[in-house]
Amino acid sequence: MNTSPSGWLIIDKPLGMTSNQVVGGVRRHLGIKGCGHAGTLDPLASGVLPIALGEATKTVAYAQTGSKDYAFTIRWGEFRTTDDFEGDVCETSPKRPTEEDILSILPRFIGEIQQVPPAYSAIKVDGKRAYALARAGQDVKLAARTVLVHDLRLVDMPSADEARFEVTSGKGFYVRSLGHDISSALGCAGYISALRRKRVGHFSLTHAMGWDAFTSHESSEVLANYLLPIETALDDIPALAATRQEAWRLRHGQTVLLTVAHRDLLTPSGRSEITGNGEVAVYSEGRLVALGAISGNVLRSVRGFNL
């Protein structure tokens, strides 16, 4: 049985730190090797950064697929190379949009939209990061991709030079690109001057620990009071109870034949019955055993857990 800590630690990432710097700091402070983050935040962005510890690293992909909430500010008058305030000014405009102007164009950015990622992003181009090529002076051309925006709204306009928004988006979405596209649609220049992530899937600021608080607490206190269960990232996946023998088979790469009784089981949290084919989280004696895939009446292990 694995005795190393496993679960999710949610950090409220401060401005100025990279996501990898946060992961490195968590690793050193807690004295553990296995950890990673679910969803990069730019150094100039703050907010929810889920950190997976131990066996939770096997569920990072599930945390990343959830929707995300952001609060952001667009400052009008300049386009910048990075689409945020870190970049160089590359175009200016004297135009400032009115509230009516902004409200009139927001609906076109809700739903499935085409979005070109920023040149200064971690997307790979011919094996190299786009931001590395852009910083080297190369002209980076990234293809548009389909992204999902669940909701977008104007919060307020503190001055004629800026407007604050909130957005709920799906996977692969860039707020910096949205800021650029909104500015272009309004016929004025603009860039993201402030960005804060408020939620990633089931992880929100209510779960988050500030960086100063994290570094000032003993590792034992952090793990006792702030570590969330691995299953938190799996709340949208149907769960299946397995016997000890079935758990042993799944841990050893063998399949399990599903019965009617299996499909009638409800998860402890009351999620819906397992129907049809699909993915399940398998538990035995209250402990997460594996992520499994159902094909017909056969369950096979996709990822096992050493808990």
Residues known to be catalytic: 42
Alpha-carbon distance of 35 to 132, in angstroms, equals 25
User: For residue 154, what are its two tokens?
Assistant: 């104007």
Phi, psi dihedral angles at 37 (to 5 degrees): -105, 160
- Which candidate, 208, 249, 246, 240, places its Cα nearest to that of 26? 208
Nearest 5 degrees, angle CA 124-CA 126-CA 132? 55
Q: Cβ atoms within 10 A of the Cβ of 40, count?
A: 13
Do 72 and 61 form a contact (C-beta atoms < 8 A)?
no
Q: Exposed, middle or buried, 243 (CB in 10 Å: 0-12/13-18/19+)?
A: exposed
Q: Residue 214: what residue type?
A: F
Alpha-carbon distance of 158 to 273, in angstroms, equals 49
Alpha-carbon distance of 237 to 50, in angstroms, equals 19
Instruction: Give the DSSP letter of residue 59.
Output: G
First to last CA, the chain: 6
Alpha-carbon distance of 42 to 87, in angstroms, equals 13
Alpha-carbon distance of 177 to 116, in angstroms, equals 7
Alpha-carbon distance of 202 to 24, in angstroms, equals 23
Q: What residues contact 256, with CB distance under 8 A and at least 6 apart?
A: 242, 246, 249, 250, 292, 298, 299, 300
